[in-house]
Amino acid sequence: MKIRGSIIWFIAIAVAVIALVLWYGQKQPVEMPLATSAETNAAPPVATTPRAPASIPVHANAPMVQSTRGADLSKSSPPSKEERAIGLLSTYNDVPIDFYGRVEDQFSNAVDNAAVNFSVRVMNGQESTVNRGQVETDNNGFFTVSGYRGQDLSLVPKKAGYVLAMADTLFKYSHLEDHPYVSDPNNRSVIKMWKLQGAEPLVEINKIFKLPYNGAPIFFDLVTGNVSPVGGDLEVIIARAPGVITQRNHGDWSIKLVPVNGGIMETDYHTSQVTYEAPANGYQDSYLVQMNHDNPGWLDNIQRAFFLMSRNGQVYSKFSLDFGINDDPNGTMWFQFKGVANVNSSRNWEATSPQ
């Protein structure tokens, strides 16, 4: 969910001002004003014209702020930045937290009697804290969190023999979000856990290579951590424009990953950490990154995560790749592989789960 940047900057500045004002007020003693003598030749106060408060952008789905009835606006002072920030936070960031969920395993079976630890983050202009609690799933795996107010809710279920199998269990209720989360008791949100079947030995992948560019394919053996003349697990094909390539001197370059007798699938780092079995299908024949010099998002490196099947299904790997193109034509390219591989023709990665 994309947060409205202008509102967030405004809130951050206003909160900092509030904190400074509160701190200063605590540090300074309160002084009583001296009574003015009848003989004091004091100048009359200068009348000032109040300025209209700056307009605050409001999200289309946000609740409307109620106006004050019966107030004499001609005599009231405009709200300060701190007051406007507090009003904004209390209106749009202090939302009732109601969550209707279901915990289930990889087979879509209910996980009953699981402890669901939750935390509600509060930042409403008056209070900045985290309220924590715990509920338990019933026989259907159902659970409910309610009776709280805040900006978001984080969930972590736990049960012996199971591990969390979701990368994102943070639900954002704040109306400062473009699409605030709304829970439906008739359509419960599913929290996935993995029921452990029995871990198998895995081979660690952790290797850095600094290799020259010559235009020829490079074959990596992820199991042994070596570069092979042919074969291995992954063929890498690099292409680059001649000359120096840097952040100031953009040049065309590309990297193509070709699994050796298998398939490849891009994922993200967090998902790979909570995936305990290699996918059975959905692999591609190759993966290509093309960096053109006129691309506004041009970089001289990539960091990506992958699932890989190689050697006709004998090896199943999950790994991250950190690659950097050589700046100088005579310099070296940077490769770093980190992950694990099951070399027993098995898709089991349960040894990577918390033990």
Do 104 and 185 belong together in one domain? yes
Residue 37's Cα: distance from chain center in Å?
Answer: 64
145 found inside a domain: yes
Which contacts (CB < 8 Å, 24+ apart) does range 227-235 have? 231/260, 232/260, 232/310, 233/259, 233/260, 233/262, 233/308, 233/310, 233/311, 233/315, 233/317, 233/341, 234/258, 234/259, 234/260, 234/264, 234/308, 234/310, 235/259, 235/260
Do 321 and 218 belong together in one domain? yes
Q: Which amino acid is at 297?
A: G
Do 125 and 244 belong together in one domain? no
Do 115 and 237 belong together in one domain? no
> What is the DSSP code (8-state) at residue 105?
-
Q: Give 263-301 pLDDT, tens digit per residue.
A: 999 999 999 999 999 999 999 999 999 999 999 999 999
Nearest one of 129, 63, 120 to 97, comparing CA atoms: 120
Do 147 and 217 belong together in one domain? no
Q: Across the strands, what pairs with 3?
A: 177
Q: Between vectors from CA 42 to CA 40 and to CA 48, what angle results, nearest 5°?
A: 160
3-state secondary structure of 6: helix
Residue 225 makes CB contacts below 8 A (sequence gap 6+) with 205, 206, 207
pLDDT of residue 75: 58
Do 313 and 173 belong together in one domain? no
pLDDT of residue 318: 98
Range from 25-34, 48-57, 83-92 that averages highest in pLDDT: 83-92
181 found inside a domain: yes
Do 230 and 336 belong together in one domain? yes
Residue 170 makes CB contacts below 8 A (sequence gap 6+) with 152, 153, 154
48 found inside a domain: no
Do 165 and 101 belong together in one domain? yes
For the chain, the domain total comes to: 2
- Give 6's pLDDT tier (boundaries 50, 70, 90): low
Look-up of token digits 């990953």: 257
219 found inside a domain: yes
What length does the chain have? 355
Q: Which of 157, 173, 195 is the last residue of a domain?
A: 195
Do 169 and 269 belong together in one domain? no
Full residue range of the structural domain in which residue 152 is found: 95-195
Query: Which residue has better confidence, 201 or 88?
Result: 201
Judged by phi (left if over 0) then psi (alpha if -120 to 50, else beta), residue 260 lies in beta
pLDDT of residue 1: 45
- Give 17's pLDDT tier (boundaries 50, 70, 90): low
pLDDT of residue 91: 74
CA–CA distances in Å: residue 213 to residues 1, 153, 334, 347: 40, 49, 10, 34
228 found inside a domain: yes
- Give 246's pLDDT tier (boundaries 50, 70, 90): very high
Q: Are 330 and 240 in contact (CB under 8 A)?
A: no
Mean pLDDT, the chain, rounded, equals: 85
Q: Give 188-225 pLDDT, tens digit per residue.
A: 999 999 999 999 999 999 999 999 999 999 999 999 99
Do 234 and 292 belong together in one domain? yes
CATH, residue 129: 2.60.40.10
Q: Give 98-145 pLDDT, tens digit per residue.
A: 999 999 999 999 999 999 999 999 988 788 899 999 999 999 999 999
34 found inside a domain: no
Q: Which of 174, 195, 216 is the last residue of a domain?
A: 195
Query: Which residue has better confidence, 172 or 75?
Result: 172
Q: Which of 153, 170, 195 is the last residue of a domain?
A: 195
> What is the DSSP code (8-state) at residue 284?
B
How do beta strands 95-104 and 189-195 pair? parallel
pLDDT of residue 116: 98
Do 144 and 266 belong together in one domain? no
Q: Give 21-52 pLDDT, tens digit per residue.
A: 455 455 444 443 433 333 333 344 444 444 44
Look-up of token digits 């099947």: 309
144 found inside a domain: yes
68 found inside a domain: no
Query: What pTM, to 2 d.p., does this model score?
Result: 0.74
Residue 60 has pLDDT above 80, yes or no: no
Do 348 and 207 belong together in one domain? yes
